Structures are given as structure tokens and as C-alpha cells.
């Protein structure tokens, strides 16, 4: 695998939602990714985040059941069997360490995703999660707040970044070849001073 510059890594770190489901993400890899998260900054250095790892068919199926995929792709209910993530990392907030979590989980999520892309994987940060159901299925104790789920695997999907058109539409879309297009605001529009 060709080494990527940091800019290439960021660019290649797109949200991917279809995978080669048979491509295993080893438990060791998931530990290495949480090892990166462990080094991320944390408000007051409280480090309240905890993690659940999944790379088995049964646990993956439970987690998959609790996710909502690409709400803007109307009529697409998420990846079909065979194209689903082969692993997940569930990010939890330990309320015995911090009652409210600022943005630690966002920083950690991006750190893990960049690490995954660096290792040749990819995935999607997911916040649309049926949390009560996930808590039941994985028997997550009440002390842990469910914050995000990271879907991971060997991506099958190509993503094209575009600049937003004059109509200002930010909705991502998929073309007839199955390529996923993501409009991004122009630099001129986001640097306001």
C-alpha cells in the first residue's frame, strides 16, 4: 500500500457505507485503533470515553440492526448483506467519570477513522443509532452513555468530493454507476473573516 501524505489521508477519509463484508478487521487492528484514540486530547484530561469492539458476525448483526444509513439517499435502506461493515467500534461516555461529554468523542471518532484509512480500511461515523435497542442487545450498563458508532471495513464504495453548486444544495447523492457524490462548501464560503 502506497504511503499517503496527511492531506491525502484526510481526503481519502470519506464516509463509506458499502464494504467487502468478508474482509476481516482483526481484533488486533481494533485495539490499535483504540490505541490511537487513547492518545487524543480530552477536556480537562478526564478521558471519559470507553469502547466496545465488534468483529464477529453475531455482534455485528446486532449493531447493524440499530443503525440508520444515509438518510439523504432516499429509497436506500443501507448496505445489503455481503456489503455490510465487518467491524464496529462503539464509543461510550463513562458518566462516572464525566456527567457530560463535550466534543471528545468527535475528536476520537475522526482519529480512529484516519487510523483506519491509514491501515487500508474505511467506514462511517454514525450518530443515528437506536440507543435503547443497542444497550439491550449488547447489555451495555446504564453508567455508559452511547455516543457514536463507527462502522469499519474494507470499502467497496467510491466517493467523489465536489464543490457545492450555485443552488447551495449540500445533499450527497449517488449516480447511476453507484458512485457516491459529496458536495462540500467552498473555502471562500467558510472562511468568514
Ligand X SMILES: Cc1cc2nc3c(=O)[nH]c(=O)nc-3n(C[C@H](O)[C@H](O)[C@H](O)COP(=O)(O)O)c2cc1C
User: Taking the complex as a whole, how short is the minimal distance between the CB of residue 49 and ligand X, in angstroms?
Assistant: 14
Instruction: Write the DSSP assignment of the chain as a string of letters.
Output: -----HHHHHHH--B---B-TTS---HHHHHHHHHHHTTS--GGG---EEEEEE-SHHHHHHHHTTB---TTSTT--SPPTTSS-SEEEEEEEETTT-SS--SHHHHHHHHHHHHHHHTT-EEEEE--B-HHHHHHHHT--TTEEEEEEEEEE-B---EEEEE--TT-----EE-TT--EEEEE--HHHH---
Nearer to ligand X by Cβ, of 34 and 159: the residue is 159
User: Taking the complex as a whole, how short is the minimal distance between the CB of residue 162 and ligand X, in angstroms?
Assistant: 11
User: Taking the complex as a whole, how short is the minimal distance between the CB of residue 175 and ligand X, in angstroms?
Assistant: 15
Cα–Cα distance, 84 to 16 (Å, whole number): 10
- Please give the residues from 5 up to 44 whose contact with ligand X meets the rule CB under 6 A: 14-15, 17
How many angstroms from the chain centroid is the CA of residue 95?
22
Per-residue interface string for the shown chain with ligand X, residues 174-193, x marking contact by CB under 6 A: --------x-----------
Nearer to ligand X by Cβ, of 51 and 69: the residue is 69
Per-residue interface string for the shown chain with ligand X, residues 133-162, x marking contact by CB under 6 A: --------------------------x---
**Rg of the chain on CA atoms, in Å:** 17
Nearer to ligand X by Cβ, of 27 and 68: the residue is 68
- Among residues 43, 172, 173, 181, which is the contact residue for ligand X, using CB under 6 A? 172
User: Taking the complex as a whole, how short is the minimal distance between the CB of residue 41 and ligand X, in angstroms?
Assistant: 17
Cα–Cα distance, 98 to 152 (Å, whole number): 27
- Please give the residues from 102 up to 131 whose contact with ligand X meets the rule CB under 6 A: 124-128
User: Taking the complex as a whole, how short is the minimal distance between the CB of residue 105 and ligand X, in angstroms?
Assistant: 9
68 binds ligand X (CB under 6 A): yes
- For ligand X, the nearest residue by Cβ is 128
Contact set with ligand X (CB under 6 A): 14-15, 17, 68-70, 124-128, 159, 172, 182
Amino acid at each position: 500500500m502506497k504511503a499517503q501524505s496527511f492531506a491525502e489521508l484526510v481526503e481519502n477519509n470519506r464516509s463509506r457505507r458499502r464494504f467487502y463484508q468478508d474482509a476481516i478487521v482483526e481484533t488486533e487492528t481494533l485495539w490499535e485503533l483504540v490505541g490511537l484514540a487513547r492518545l487524543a486530547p480530552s477536556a480537562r484530561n478526564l478521558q471519559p470515553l470507553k469502547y466496545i469492539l465488534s468483529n464477529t458476525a453475531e455482534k455485528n448483526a446486532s449493531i447493524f440492526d440499530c443503525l440508520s444509513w444515509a438518510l439523504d439517499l432516499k429509497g436506500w435502506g443501507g448496505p445489503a448483506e455481503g456489503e455490510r461493515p465487518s467491524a464496529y467500534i462503539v464509543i461510550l461516555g463513562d458518566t462516572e467519570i464525566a456527567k457530560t461529554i463535550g466534543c471528545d468523542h468527535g475528536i476520537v471518532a475522526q482519529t480512529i477513522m484516519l487510523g483506519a484509512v491509514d491501515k487500508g480500511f474505511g467506514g462511517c461515523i454514525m450518530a443515528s443509532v437506536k440507543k435503547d435497542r443497542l444497550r439491550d442487545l449488547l447489555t451495555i450498563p446504564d453508567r455508559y452513555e452511547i455516543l457514536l458508532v463507527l462502522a469499519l471495513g474494507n470499502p467497496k464504495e467510491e466517493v467523489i468530493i465536489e464543490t457545492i453548486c450555485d443552488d447551495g444544495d449540500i445533499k450527497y447523492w449517488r449516480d447511476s454507476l453507484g458512485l457516491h457524490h459529496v458536495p462540500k462548501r467552498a473555502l471562500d464560503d467558510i472562511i468568514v473573516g
